[in-house]
Amino acid sequence: MTIGASTTTGSDQQYDRATAVKQFDESKIGVKGLVDSGVTTIPPFFIHPPENLSNSNSSTSSPTSDLIPVVDLTGVDSDRRSLIVEQIRDASRDFGFFQIINHGVPSDVINRTIDAIKGFHEEPTEEKSKYYSRERRGVAFSSNFDLFKSKAASWRDTVQMRLSPTHPDLELIPEIFRHEALEWDEHVKRVGEVLMEILSEGLGVKSEKLKELSCSEARVMVAHYYPYCPQPDLTLGITSHTDPGVLTLLLQNQIGGLQVKHGDEWLDVKPVPDAIVINVGDILQILSNDEYKSVEHRVLANPHKKSRVSIAIFFNPSKREDLYGPLPELISLEKPALFQQFTLEKFMKKFFTKELDSKSIINFFKL
């Protein structure tokens, strides 16, 4: 495979990054295709500057790797609810991340969903390439949505699918994960709505508040595939970023790599069987007037022969022309509004015109 190789002119080696990136994109093979071709060195446009790779050696024995809270939702509608609200409120303030267990989604649904997404990414290129596109349409497969804007590409492939308010026509969804993705959405919608209630109560507002703002009505699935990387110390699976929406619910298989920034440290989000990883998005930090934190997170390049799979569902408001900003109930003389109001249209346009690893979108809306 010669994608990304240098060209020789006389005795000087020259590297044309723009041409290499264009060639990679037009091949439609993705990172998995590079691995299948037998590459032993990664193309130069995947190499990140050393400062972006700091502390990127994950260690499962690290004493900090168990700090990300795991919240048991057993009895969420019983007298345990106040404890669960407190645990999720504290996790959302202190870490911006937590995992939930005993959430009511059957184990076989989780495993089938992960297996179906893995199966799609491991299909032959000629099958996957039918869905390869950079357009924001109902279902699309690509590698690095910010490939042409970022300073360095990341070692992953992605399939993205709109789930609501309307999902794509069934025949446009790859058959290999069609049933599983729609079934997973039904479960995740229920779990997400429960979490929205708990997060509202944690802010001291009525439990229906986030639902009234349509915060669970627009959902997008982004399913990442991280194949083995021959030089994991030179690149990343996903660069450091925050999620733009309200809330993200994520499945991951048992291959680690997800990290959350806490202070100056990167903490491992260790896989827990059947757990769902939850993280606060930028819009929720703004709605909470800075009570809940949308924190930087990243995924390390995968050094294992087994591939890593993650499936994120992003929860966003559906009312694109409404104004969003800090909840009025959370504004006072002692704590005035810290962010300006904005329409969702303006907010998402800002997100899609910047590269993934540039400064958090929240900074654009601070007062």
Please name each of the domains of the chain with its CATH number: 15-365 (2.60.120.330)
pLDDT reading at 116 higher than 80: yes
Q: pTM, whole model, 2 decimals?
A: 0.92
- Distance, in Å, from the CA atom of 32 to the CA atom of 34, rounded to the nearest integer, reads 5
Residues 60-64 have a mean pLDDT of: 48
Q: Is 110 exposed, middle or buried (0-12, 13-18, 19+ CB in 10 A)?
A: buried
Helix/strand/coil for 159: strand
Q: Phi then psi for 72, rounded to 5 degrees?
A: -90, 120
For the chain, what is the mean pLDDT? 91
The 10s digit of each residue's pLDDT in 237-270 is 999 999 999 999 999 999 999 999 999 899 999 9
Residues 335-355 have a mean pLDDT of: 83
Name which of 226, 215, 225 is nearest 249 in CA terms.
215
Q: What is the dihedral of CA 173, 175, 178, 180, to 10 degrees?
A: -150
Give the pLDDT of residue 355: 54
Give the pLDDT of residue 362: 85
